[in-house]
Amino acid sequence: MQTSHSNGSFERHEPCNECGSSDGVAVYSDGNRYCFVCHHFERGDGSYSQSTKTHMSYKGSAQRLQKRNLSERICERYKIYKEGDLLRMYYHNSDGRPIGAKTRTKNKVFSYEGENDGAFFGQHIFFKGGKHKSVVITEGELDAASVAEALGDYPCVSLPSGASAAKKAIKHNYDWLQQFEKIILWFDNDEPGQKAVKDAANALPPGKVFIAVAEAYKDASEALQANDYKSIENAFWDAKPYRPDGIVEGKSLLELVTTPNPPNDHEYPFQGLNTLLHGIRYGELTTITAGSGIGKSSFCRDIATSLLQRGERVGYLALEESNRRTALGLMSSAVGKSLHLGEPSHEELTKAFDSTIANWNLYLFDGFGSYDPDVIYNRIEYLAQGLDCRIIFLDHLSILLSGLDGDERRMIDVTMTRLRSLVERTGISLFLVSHLRRTTTDKNHEEGGRVTLGQLRGSAAIAQLSDSVIALERDQQSDNKDSTTTVRVLKNRHSGETGIACSLTYNLETCKFDETEPEPEFDPGKDF
C-alpha cells in the first residue's frame, strides 16, 4: 500500500531511534522511513524532512459496523469511513479539516495516510469542549467511538499513537484538556495499558484525573461488542479519582493502626540498649559511631556474635580488615578468649572454629581493598536476597566513600540514600559504622569527649536516614586500662528515648564487653 510518506510499498515495521518506539517506524520499498509515533520522516537517500501537512479528502462512507456494534451515526460523527474492506479513521486539524487517516484492513493490517499533528482522535468534535465538563480518553479510536455509542454526547477521544506514546499525547494536548474539570482515562485493561495510565495521569493537573475500568473486558470496544452497555456506563460513572503512589487516605488506616506493634526481632547483648532502643528490628538502619580506636569494630563483633549464637543469618562486610581478622575476632568473642593475639595452636583454633563459625549462618565479604560502591551495594543485596541474611554489618562508611570522586557531603548524601533504599527494599537490619569529624572543643573524642549528632562526619543525611544512632565515648589515653566506654543513644526513631544507655568495660582476656550501670550525668541545673 502506498502512502503520502512514500511512493513505494510498505515492507516492515522497525524500532524508532528518535522516540524509542519498538515498532513505530514503517519502512517502504523506496527506502523511506516514517514513524507513526513521533512522526519523524527520513527519505531513502538519508535526508530528513518535515512533511507539509495538507488537507485530504474523505474516502468511503459512514456505515454501521455490525461486529463492533457501532451505529452509522457514531461513525459519521467520528468520521470512521468504510471503503470496501478498508476502514479509515480520520484525524483533523484545529479547523476541523481532515489531514490524515489511520487505516485498518479486515486482516488487521494497519497503516497511515496523510499526516498527524499529535491531536487526539475525535478532538475536532469537541474542540471548544461543549456543555459537558468531563472528557474520556481511550487508548484506541474504536474504543472512543464505543464509549460515545453507549454514553451519548459526552466528549470521548482517543490517543493518536497508542499506549506507548500516551504521555507525549497528553502533553501535546494539555492546553485543550485544561478546559475540562474531569479527565477520565480509560486505557486497555492489560499491563501496558495500566502502566500508560500512570504515566499519563502524572502529566495531568492534580485532582482532575479519574480512572475508568470495565473489569470484565479488555477495553470499551470489547464491552460494546458484548452488548454490555451497562458496563460502559458503570465504568464511566464509577471512575475512581487517581491517587499517585505514596498517597494514602487516612480513613483506610483502621486495620493498620489497630494491628498490635510487633515485638522486637532480637535483643541487644546489653540490657541498657534494650531499655532505650527496645531491641533490634528488621527494616531499620542503625549507625554506630565513635572516635578512632574507641572500639566500634569490637562493639559490632559483640553484637554480631550474640546474633549468630541465636541462629540468625548474618552478613558481615569489614572493608578495612581481612576475613581472617574478622573471623578470629568473632571467634574470640564467642569463646571468651583472645585468638588473634599471641600464637594459639592449630588444635586450639580448630576447636574454636568447630564450636563457632562451623555452626553459624555467617557470610563474609571477601573483598578487602575493594572500594567500588556499586560492588558493595550489589553484595549487600545478594546477602539479603540471595542468602536470606536478615542482619548485615557494614564497617565502615568512609571506606565505601573512598571509591567515589567529588564533594564529600554530596557523596554521603547519595550513599546514605542508596543504603536506606536498600534497607527498605530488602527489609534487612543494617548496622553501619561511621566516623566522626574533629571536635572544636578542648576535649576530642579520643580523650572521652561527648559525641553529638552534629559531629557525624560529612553530612546530616547520616542522622536523618538512620533509625538509630549509637555513640561510644571513651578516653583511650587514660592510664586506667579498664577505662569504661559510655554507650550513648543519639537518635531513636522507634520511641524517641535517647541518652546514656550503659557503660561497658572491654576485657582483653575474654574479648568481650562487660556491662555496668552508667554513672549519672552531671546536670548543672541541679548539681550546683
Highest mean pLDDT among 27-36, 200-209, 455-464: 200-209
Question: Crossing angle of helices 346-355/323-335, nearest 10°?
Answer: 80
d(CA 241, CA 185): 10
| Secondary structure (DSSP) of 314-370 | EEEEETTS-HHHHHHHHHHHHHTS--SSS---HHHHHHHHHHTGGGSEEEE---TT-
pLDDT of residue 299: 94
C-alpha cell at 19: 522516540
**What does the pLDDT read at residue 185?**
96
Euclidean distance between CA atoms 479 and 448, whole angstroms: 13
What was the pLDDT predicted at 403? Answer: 59
Calpha distance 35→51 (Å, rounded) = 12
Q: pLDDT digit string (tens) for 313-331?
A: 999 999 888 899 999 999 9
Buried b (16+ CB within 10 A) or exposed e, 383-397: bbeeeebbbbbbbbb
Q: Is the peptide bond before 396 cis (omega within 30 degrees of 0)?
A: yes
Q: Annotate 363-392 with DSSP letters as a single string.
A: EE---TT---HHHHHHHHHIIIIIS--SEE
**Cα separation, 229 vs 148, whole angstroms:** 11
Q: How far apart are CA 181 and CA 236, in angstroms?
A: 15
C-alpha–C-alpha distance, residues 504 and 472, integer Å: 9
Residue 56 scores a pLDDT above 80: yes
Is the separation of the CB atoms in 392 and 316 below 8 Å? Answer: yes
Q: Has residue 52 got a pLDDT over 60? A: no
- The answer to whether residue 514 scores a pLDDT higher than 70 is yes
pLDDT tens for each residue of 135-153: 999 999 999 999 999 998 8
Containing 459, the helix (H) or strand (E) segment is none
- 116-141 per-residue burial string, b: 16 or more CB within 10 A, e: under 16: bebbbbbbbbbbeeeeeebbbbbbbb
Range list of H helices, 152-217:
166-172, 174-177, 191-201
The DSSP string of 483-522 is: --EEEEEEEETTT---EEEEEEEEETTTTEEEEEPPPPPP
**Mean per-residue pLDDT, 24-48:** 69
C-alpha to C-alpha distance for 239 and 185, rounded to whole angstroms: 9
Helix (H) or strand (E) holding 470: strand 468-473
Domains of the chain: residue spans and CATH: 10-49 (2.20.25.10), 61-241 (3.40.1360.10), 271-516 (3.40.50.300)
Whether pLDDT at 216 is above 50: yes
Q: How far is CA 470 from the centre of its chain?
A: 29
Range 260-276 average pLDDT:
89
Ranges 73-77, 159-163, 439-443: which has the least confidence: 439-443
